[in-house]
Amino acid sequence: MAIFPKFSKTRDGVNIINEQRLLKQVNHLILDTQRCTGCGICSESCPEEAITVSMVGATKRNKGISYATPVNIDEVKCSYCGVCVVMCPFNSLTLKIDGEESLPIVEREGFPQYDMLAKIDEEKCVRCTVCEDVCPRDAIDRDVPAYEGSVEGGRERQTALTAKTTFEVDTDKCTVCGICGSLCPAITVKRKEFSAETGAVEGDVLWDEKLCDACKVCTEACPEEAITVTREVETKKLPGKVNIIEDDCCTCRWCAENCPTEAITVEKIFEGEIEFHAEKCPGGCSTCAEICPAHAIYLPSPAPAAEMKGEKEANIAVNKDLCILCGACVNACPGEDIIVLKRTGVRMKGKETDLFNKIKAKLFTPRTSRVKEGVAPGEVELKVLENA
């Protein structure tokens, strides 16, 4: 009986660790079940057919399920080449050789990689919160200070913009009445000692620029209209920077579609078409909408009865501008012929090897869901549409 190789599978939190132990090398293929969406691209890409799609809908909808994962990896059949790591659009797989992250298929054979295009034009970006709020994958790194409007104890709002404030007092009008000083911590009214010699109230109005937020309450409250406050904004942009975290970005374009200054450029990894046949969808399911990693699938708002004109109301739909054609919805759908996916292009960089071209042919094969009859427990079967 051979001592090596040895194989094992263990779970560490959200990670499933597949191990291949050789005489002089230890390989680990790690699946992050939290990041995995069940899209099945790894399964279609695996040259050893060591990966199968599991109960996508159940595992992604019910976070409490610990006995199943969106995909299953056969640690014995796996060659630990790294193709699945390269092809996973959600970076849910990691290959380690002797404890170090490695991709032999890229390093030795020049396997191509995704050509990611996701960037923010710093000149156009105004550091708003829209992209961070709409991103379904938490892929926006908004490194901007927190201000008092968003968090308790945040920076004072007047420090957000770079500005020059000037404060002037018309001494001919000012009576040193003290109203401005009693209202504002930035103003101190310093009177001279009262003396019968002059029989008048005299003094100075002192101003601390660091404490002034240019609110102009002093100018409005001054009974003699002796105060003038001007504020010249030197830059209208908040300090900081906003970036897209490429490892987390799924290229859904939520951010690009909604950026108010059109500062974001994102190109989808896959090109193609997806069709939803709502008339075949059983109402009340919503599995595809709940597990969609791009939040592109939705339950249409009910139309007013007067506008329906006898038509059956759709109970499921997809926003094609946001769909990334990953295929998770097809794998999760419990019905048949409801969702049809057809990929026609993929953004890659590097030489397209023979192995990649075989994988691409699989990825470009149109497919839909099929009722799971006679399939091994915990596995998903797809219907291939060869002539579509």
Q: Where are the domains of the chain?
A: 163-233
pLDDT at 372 over 60: no
Quote the pTM value: 0.82
pLDDT at 235: 84
CA distance 41 to 84: 8
Question: In this structure, is the dihedral angle defined by the CA atoms of residues 69, 75, 79 and 82, taken in order, positive or negative?
Answer: positive
pLDDT tens by residue, 203-224 = 999 999 989 989 999 999 999 9
- Block residue for tokens 């263990």: 10
Whole-angstrom distance, CA of residue 175 vs CA of residue 91? 70
Short-list 188, 167, 175, 165, CA closest to 222: 175
Q: What is the pLDDT, as a whole number, of residue 317?
A: 93
Tell me what pLDDT residue 92 has.
Answer: 97
CA 266/CA 116 separation, integer angstroms: 8
- Tens of pLDDT, residue by residue over 148-174, are 998 999 998 888 888 899 999 999 999
Q: Does pLDDT of 1 surpass 60?
A: no
Confidence of residue 377 (pLDDT cuts 50, 70, 90): low
Instruction: Quick: pLDDT tens for 37-89.
Output: 999 999 999 999 999 998 787 777 666 556 678 999 999 999 999 999 999 99
Q: What is residue 198's predicted lDDT score, i.e. its pLDDT?
A: 82
Count helices and strands in the chain by DSSP H and E runs: 12, 23
Q: Can you tell me the mean pLDDT for 233-238? A: 87
Cross-strand bridge partners of residue 68: none
pLDDT of res. 376: 59
In this predicted structure, the answer to whether residue 388 has a pLDDT above a threshold of 80 is no
pLDDT on residue 203: 94
* Nearest partner of 103 among 29, 200, 205, judged by Cα: 29
Q: What pLDDT was estimated at residue 313? A: 75
Each residue's pLDDT tens digit, 243-295? 999 999 999 999 999 999 999 999 999 999 999 998 888 877 889 999 999 99
Model pLDDT, residue 54 = 85
Tokens 């000012």 sit on residue: 174
Helical spans, DSSP H, in the chain: 41-45, 56-61, 83-87, 104-107, 130-134, 179-183, 217-221, 254-258, 287-291, 305-308, 328-332, 354-363
Q: What CATH number has the domain spanning 163-233? A: 3.30.70.20
Residue 240: count other Cβ atoms within 10 Å of its Cβ: 11
Percent of the chain residues topping a pLDDT of 90: 73
Least confident span in 2-11, 50-59, 160-169, 326-335: 50-59
d(CA 87, CA 384): 20
Residues 58/63/65/69 CA torsion (nearest 10 deg): 70
pLDDT for res 380: 58
Going by pLDDT thresholds of 50, 70 and 90, the confidence category of residue 120 is: very high
pLDDT for position 69: 86
Averaged confidence pLDDT in the chain: 90
The average pLDDT across 130-142 equals: 97
> How confident is the model over 348-367, as a mean pLDDT?
95
Contact predicate 359/312, CB 8 Å: no
